[in-house]
Amino acid sequence: MDNKIVLEMKGIEKQFAGVYALKDVQFSLREGEVHALLGENGAGKSTLIKVLGGIYRADSGQIRINGNEIKIDGVKDAQEKGISIIHQEIVLVPHISVAENIFLGREPVNKIGLKDCKKMNEEAKKMVVSLGLDIDVTREVFYLTIAQQQMVEIIKAVSFNSKIIIMDEPTSSLAEREVEHLFEIIRKLKKQGVSIVYISHKLNELVAITDRITVMRDGKYIDTKVTSETTVNELIGLMVGRELTEYYTRTKHSIGDIAFEVRNLNKKGTFKNVSFHIRKGEIIGFAGLVGAGRSEIMKAVFGVDKLGSGEIYLDGKLLHLKNVKDAIDHGIALIPEDRKKEGLILKNSVAFNITLTIQDKYKKGIIENKHVRNEIINKYINAFSIKTPAIEQLTHNLSGGNQQKVVLAKWLATDPKVLILDEPTRGVDVGAKAEIYSIIDDLAEKGMAVIVISSELPEIINMCDRIYVVAQGKISGELSRDEFLQERIMYYATGGE
Ligand SMILES: Nc1ncnc2c1ncn2[C@@H]1O[C@H](COP(=O)(O)OP(=O)(O)OP(=O)(O)O)[C@@H](O)[C@H]1O
Ligand SMILES: [Mg+2]
């Protein structure tokens, strides 16, 4: 591809509190090109595109658009220069409609200067339809699934008619079918000459959709490869600076008695007659399409949502969970899929978040044993290789993948008997994924009952002893290890179509 270069970044540097997040980074983008940024959690990908999108000002370096050196002065300025970002963390306003979110700050007005809701909804509807999507534009964003919210972000970015669209992990909450849809949209945009910066930890996606891949490590530029001339192994090598020998870890160990059992769980309109069990030391997968009801089932089990009817047994004893605190006290932990909404308090520190649910381990009344506290925190920071300059760093300042690791640490610190993980490796780099798999395996070996909800079938197939498949709020299939086949899981996931 020899299209003209539309964007060039050179010598970009950015420090936060004296620590380099970017050091002498370069990047270029051609017209109609999809160019990936690849690197471990904390490598500097989001920081680089935030410089481009006007969120951060670089300490030094040059940015050229169509050959002319420019300064980017804020988000609005970036948008006016034809650059828009779809962020890693969804930044929509929850309690206004889809259409209002798309047109926020530039709502169409009628003849007397008032907001023209009818026109706004019509325009938004047109965009939704033109991208082949099915979303009610008058609905409050709050009520959409994460996948739908991500689609709204995409519609919004496209609606600015930008020449450069940056997508920071756009598929992290999308199911396979939706990813395919996004790729269709990307191909359409390419044809229109739009250039796309694409960030993802999913290497198969990069191979499928990108023209070139730039690898970053520790805030530095490493190399740029033409996608068709490189391999996944070469990319991993560039990314982590070493070979990754083991990806999935599953050690053989014995499986004990039933640890946890759910019988005939019902919640009107959400799920129906759900029964499952898990033994000590077992890893159970919950597969299904996005929206099948897996998260809802687990939230009900964990006491977040009220149950209609059903019974929950722990170690053979019937539980009457009143709320989340009750569930935690009984030794159940749920690591939610949406870390921003349910998992973390971003304006607080890493240390605060990790210890939030385990204060009685180092506190007696108001007396706190700082030493014990810090020991616990450091143990998890090391175990998960959480990249943070200090334990008191605000979680908000961590990279997306490192935030995910803090959520994991926070719940593991409770030492649960039953651990429920909802999309545990979303947004996590390959190296850290391997670490998480190894930790899960370790916990199971120690006798913990682990439930994994995941949309990544290879993850479930390689890590689990048994799989339940959920379709439309019902358990549609149960598979033992010798029956694991991608096609078979998909068969049940689509309700046996
Ligand atoms: N506002 C900030 N204040 C302090 N440090 C920050 C801030 N933003 C980012 N950093 C740090 O800069 C480094 C790069 O972070 P960045 O978010 O760019 O990583 P990333 O490559 O996008 O990672 P991920 O794959 O996890 O999303 C990290 O060490 C992060 O902690
Ligand atoms: Mg990032």
- Kindly report, residue by residue over 379-400, the tens digit of the pLDDT: 999 988 888 989 999 999 998 8
* Bigger pLDDT: 144 vs 215: 215
pLDDT at 181: 84
Q: What is the pLDDT of residue 25?
A: 98
Q: What is the pLDDT, as a whole number, of residue 150?
A: 82
The answer to whether the 5-240 and 258-493 domains have the same CATH topology is: yes
Q: Residue 363 contacts by C-beta under 8 Å, 6 or more apart in sequence?
A: 369
Alpha helices in 213-362 (DSSP H): 232-240, 294-301, 324-329, 350-355
Cα–ligand 1 centroid distance for 219 (angstroms): 9
Supply the pLDDT for residue 338: 73
Q: What burial letters (b/e) apply to 149-179, b meaning 16+ CB within 10 Å?
A: bbbbbbbbbbbbebbbbbbbbbbbbbbeebb
What is the mean pLDDT of the segment spanning 59-80? 95
Amino acid 89: pLDDT: 75
Residue 100 CB partners (closer than 8 Å, separation 6+): 93, 107, 120
Q: Model confidence at 354, in pLDDT bands (50, 70, 90)?
A: very high
Q: How confident is residue 490, by pLDDT bands cut at 50, 70 and 90? A: confident
Arithmetic mean of pLDDT over the chain: 90
pLDDT, tens digit, 9 for 90 and up, residues 268-281: 889 999 999 999 99
pLDDT at 485: 87
Residue in the structure block whose two tokens are 């008191």: 392
Q: Which pLDDT belongs to residue 312?
A: 95
| Ligand 1 pocket residues where CB is under 6 Å | 16, 21, 39, 41-47, 88, 387, 397-402, 429
CATH topology of domain 258-493: Rossmann fold (3.40.50)
pLDDT (mean) for 137-150: 88
Does the pTM surpass 0.85? The reply is no
Mutate to test the pocket of ligand 1, among 12, 13, 22, 46 (most ligand atoms within 8 A of CB): 46
Taking residues 35-52, report their average pLDDT.
95
Domain boundaries, the chain: 5-240, 258-493
Indicate the pLDDT class of residue 243, thresholds 50, 70 and 90.
low
Whose C-alpha lies nearest to ligand 1, atom 6?
A: 397
Report residue 341's pLDDT band, with 50, 70 and 90 as the boundaries.
low
The torsion angle over the Cα atoms of residues 260, 266, 270 and 271, rounded to 10 degrees, is 60
For 40, the 3-state DSSP assignment is coil
Q: How far is the CA of 136 from the centre of ligand 1 (A)?
A: 34
Distance CA 451, CA 294 (A): 11
- Tell which phi-psi region holds residue 422, choosing left (phi > 0), alpha (psi between -120 and 50) or beta: beta
Q: Give 456 or 146, the one with higher predicted confidence.
A: 456
Residue 183 has pLDDT above 80, yes or no: yes
pLDDT, average across residues 39-48:
94
Residues with CB under 5 A from ligand 2 (ion): 46, 88, 399-400
Condensed to tens digits (0 to 9), the pLDDT of residues 257-269 reads 999 999 999 998 8
pLDDT of residue 245: 66
Report whether pLDDT(497) > 60: no
Band (pLDDT 50/70/90 cuts) for residue 431 is confident
Residue 15 CA: which ligand is closest?
1
Range 5-240: architecture per CATH = 3-Layer(aba) Sandwich (3.40)
β-strand partners of 479: 467
pLDDT of 305: 80
Residue 479: CB atoms within 10 Å: 20
Least confident segment among 18-32, 225-239, 481-495: 481-495
Q: Residue 42 CA: which ligand 1 atom is closest?
A: 19
